[in-house]
Every structure is written in C-alpha cells, then in structure tokens.
Structure 1
Amino acid sequence: MRRIFKIIIAAVAVIVIVAAAFGALIFLDLAAYTATGSQTLTPTVTPMGTALVLYDPGLTGASTQIADQIAADLLAKNMTVTLAGIKSSTASNTTGYDIIIIGGPTYAGAPAASVKDALSNLQHDSDARVGVYCSGQGSTTPQDIAQIKDAVPALQSSGALSNAVVVKIGESEDLKARAQDFVNQVYS
C-alpha cells in the first residue's frame, strides 16, 4: 500500500513539474530569448527602400515561417530586408527603415510578451509604415484582431501605432497568401 502511495505521489510530482515548465515557457516567453540572430536580404536590382522584420519564434516556429515569407515578399518588392530575432542586437535600433514589421505568437489571444514590449518601445521614423502580425491556432476572426490591439496600448486608437496594419495568421490558413496580402497592405 505504501509503495502504491509513493508511486502516485511521484507521478503527481512529475506532472506538476512538467506543467510548471510548460507554463514558464508560455508566460515567461522563453522562446523569444532564442531569437538573437539576424540577416540582411538584398534585391538584385536597385533597392526601393529598407524593411525590418522582427520576430519571436514562439514554441511551434510558425511565426518564424511567417517572418520568412514576409521577408521574401518584401524582397520581391525590391526592398532591402533585415530579418532579425526580436532579442537580437539589430532589434534595438529600429530607426532608418521605411517599413517595420514585428510579429510573433499569440498566447491566450494576446501577443507574446516580447512582441508587446517591442511595440511599446518602438522608435521609428515618422514616415515609416508599421505592420504587426501574430500567429495562432485556427482561422482569423475580427475578435482576434481586437484582442491583439487591446493587449498593446500603442495599437489602440489613441496610441502611437494606431495606424499600424494588424493581422493574425492562423496555422490552418494559407500562409503564403495571407503573408502576401499583409505585405501589400503595409507596402501600399
């Protein structure tokens, strides 16, 4: 009887530890700290401008795939694109770009903490166009966009980034088409 009791206690302890570790990954946004690299993509013709794409990879990597597609679409528009992790040294200097895009995963409907921080602290030229994307489960609804905007004061109607283009790209949606549409909105 004691042995069964010890096994049950050990199993419960393991479950609690795993749940705490998973909770820490989500709520402390630990995945963002792996996004420290950057690369510059240069068009083969004379560049039409510069773009910065900052991303938090999240737990599934979906937002990294979206960032890669956005960078490719901007490059196709003959933009010089800097693709950088949200915790990279490049992310600390956001002035001098024509377009700035910041994105990452949503957790419980709100952008990851690193995305909120980046948007709240964004220093950009007054004529720079800003876009925000979030990745998440399912198809995008108007409520998703409202939740994202509600979570970041700078995106609200009186905020410094109230004119930013905001999208959510669901993992079940056509990533290429949705990213291209987003880039077209920010670019125009």
Structure 2
Amino acid sequence: MDRDSYVYKTPASKLVQVAAIAAEYKGRPDMLMTVIIRAQKVVSAFSKEVASVIAREMDIPMNKVYSFITFYAMLSVKPRGRYIVRMCKSAPCHVHGAQAVVQALEDQLGISIGETTEDGRFTLEYCPCLGLCEISPAIMINEHVYGNLTPESVRDIIKQYIREDVE
C-alpha cells in the first residue's frame, strides 16, 4: 500500500480520544486489536496521525501499527462513509446474482466499488466473504446483514438508509 494514501488530517479532539484509549494498554502490544477496534469507533479511518498516537501511547513500533491496520479489510487508512456497504465477493454470491446487486448499488449511490459518496454518507466496497452463503447474495451495512438480495430489494434497503430510517 502506498503510504501517501493515508496522509490526511484527523481532528485533534479525535486524536485525544484515541490517545486515551491506547494509553490504557501501554506496554501491551498483545492488546493492539482491542485498541484498534475501540479507536475505530472514534475515527472513520486510521490516518498516519492516528497510527502514530497509538504507537506512542502503547509504546510499540509505528510499523507494527501500520502493518496491522493495512492487513485487515475491515480497517481503512482512507476516510469512509457513515454507512459502509460491503458486498460479498464469494463464489456463491456471484452465482446467485451479486453482479446485478452491485450494479443496482452503484447506480443508486452514484459511485463505484471502492468509492465514497461526495456527501460522505456511503462507502461501497467488496469483502472476500461474509460467511452467509445460505442467503447469498448478501451485503453488510455497518453491522447489519441483508441476504437473498435482488436489485429491487437492495434499492429498498438503501432508500431506508438515505431516509435515516434504520436502527
């Protein structure tokens, strides 16, 4: 990954919150995943500044933090939308019509896979597998799972998020 892709400004107030989380685990590199999961609730992405704060407060090397956050698909070094729409890319989803669902998502949101809407509300991305083969094709929007999708049903789901009519 190009290190320049994760250079952007994180608000100081967010950095203070991340520092407080990471400081709880100073000298505990085994707790890096816990810190990152908690920090992800504070920041939308792991900028260079965020990674640096975590490394400093936990007293671990910056390259360990960077390697960690770039390894896992659920973490991002680029800002993402409020709603992250993950489309399963597995063979069962593909066989059951995932491409038509993706096309409907891209058309409705006006973005392609890997992009975020201009208003910062939606990010559309592939994920290797959601483990939901029995209800394929499937998507995950933040923590909510939707299966047995068709282009029509996925449009209705996205309309709910546009209206903010979700829990």
Larger fraction in strand: 1
TM-score by length of 1: 0.29
TM-score by length of 2: 0.31
Asked which structure has the greater CA Rg, the reply is 1
